[in-house]
Chain A
């Protein structure tokens, strides 16, 4: 670092005194000497421009007079490097001009760029009438400014204490540095590791990794998060993630490599466990779907027998067994029919997922709704339902599945009506990521505690005599919508009505 600006300690040559003058020294000579030999000093015009400065300020800081004469002080080299300090200088000067001297610490720079601090005074110099003639700036150097970047020792401490293993090697693969993290991971101390070949860390089967890595590094390319296996001192293997960067000399030539190795054994083990759990889950799922499918099929045969013969019984012997006999037969037939409907809905439910998996084309949902309303015609007329529809969009969905959803929601709205004829409104709202459909009714509503349960399989909130149904309808809707990537939910006020919402995501073309 540079030394403080030179204050000349050599006495200035005093002119030879004439005999007459020998008795008294000329005061001007004194003042001149004080000025020249003193600490940083300069004179400024009232507009802040540099008139003259002493040796300490100009040559002592490495500047020449030509660089500073006539320039505004803040544009001169001592302060031009920092806009913040420039402003302080300007402020100091304006205050002095107003008659208020400035005193304070100020950073300043030498010509070679080294930064120092001075105690600065800036004061107006007046003539006999009190008018300010010029400004004087005086400075006493008080030291170097400490470097803000950490010195080498600090950097070394950072590397050493880092959790990850940081190892450097030369282009022959010989280890040249080894931090504590490397000791923790591989077991060797720095003394044991430095000077040995990096190959000692590489398992036998992977020894050819090293020449490949070196080849890539010589080409100046870095290796990023390369997952591999390394061996520690005790022989145990570790899954590691390596990031290796080439180290270049001043001319840009690659002279070695710096490697950061992170032990990822835990993570790899975790990922493996996740994969296995996932596979097991998929298998279980497949088994369940298979089971549901077979069950719904195999249960049909015996059901067919019960169903057909109960009806035959009623046909042939109805009336001949008395009222009680008819009642018994009636229950048997009802039971069989309900079972039939349940099985049919269960088949639909399992078919939702075993169905086709190709991405659906865009269909016109208003057309699908129209078909649904035709299917429900009888129920609509019987109940006196009034149905209103707002404009419905084209969406990505299988048409028969959307039809099932509409059929169930609108059908429910008709069935679960209160004392008034049903009024049903179907609408769709375009949102950022999806279309949000709504089916709103004025029916009996659903209690808040059942808002989620209703979408369960076989879930019915009413007895069969109150409102007919198998309880599968909403479960089927739920499955269809979820498979299509959307959500289905409801809002309801018991006694006032319900609104069912479901979303169908937009698909990027």
Chain B
């Protein structure tokens, strides 16, 4: 997850736990670090994560640039991306889908709705696993 607001990162963690998703959640809190991380993957044995959740509003480099770098990288090109943003601007949605996002979700205001996102994440992860196998 690439998100600078730790509270939202915490909520995503709750959502995943709530829906029994097992795994490792890595949180990167600025766009510049995220880009370096993705580029570093090229020279490492590590795989790209199964699901990348991005907020478009990031410090240092915007989420849009992170997505562009992902599309250019060998390992991360086809990874499922969910944009989780507080913005409802149509331009942002257009950009996200153009850069290959699977889903664009506005951060819900209510706790219960946020937690339900866990189901969405789980679905995406399962279909990604099926594709790999």
Contact = CB atoms under 8 A, between A and B. Distances in A.
Interface of A: 300-301, 304-305, 307-309, 311-312, 315, 340
B27 interface: no
A305 B110 contact: no
B110 A312 contact: no
Interface residues of B, number: 13
Could you tell me the dominant secondary structure of chain A's interface residues?
Answer: helix
B14 A304 contact: no
A309 B7 contact: yes
B86 interface: yes
A308 B86 contact: no
Interface of B: 5, 7-8, 10-11, 14, 86, 107, 109-112, 114
Contacts of A309: 7, 10
Nearest to A337: B110
Nearest to A340: B109
A315 B11 CA distance: 13
A300 B5 CA distance: 14
A312 B109 contact: no
B7 A305 contact: yes
Contact of B7 (A300, A308, A315, A340): A308
B117 to A, nearest CB: 12
Closest 10 CB pairs of A and B: A311-B111, A305-B7, A308-B111, A304-B109, A308-B11, A312-B111, A308-B114, A301-B86, A312-B14, A309-B7
A308 B107 CA distance: 11
Contacts of B111: 307-308, 311-312, 315
A254 B119 CA distance: 95
B52 to A, nearest CB: 22
Contact of A304 (B10, B107, B112): B107
24 contacts: A300-B109, A301-B86, A304-B107, A304-B109, A305-B5, A305-B7, A305-B8, A307-B109, A307-B110, A307-B111, A308-B7, A308-B11, A308-B110, A308-B111, A308-B114, A309-B7, A309-B10, A311-B111, A311-B112, A312-B11, A312-B14, A312-B111, A315-B111, A340-B109
Contacts of B5: 305
Nearest to B107: A304
A338 to B, nearest CB: 14
Nearest to B14: A312
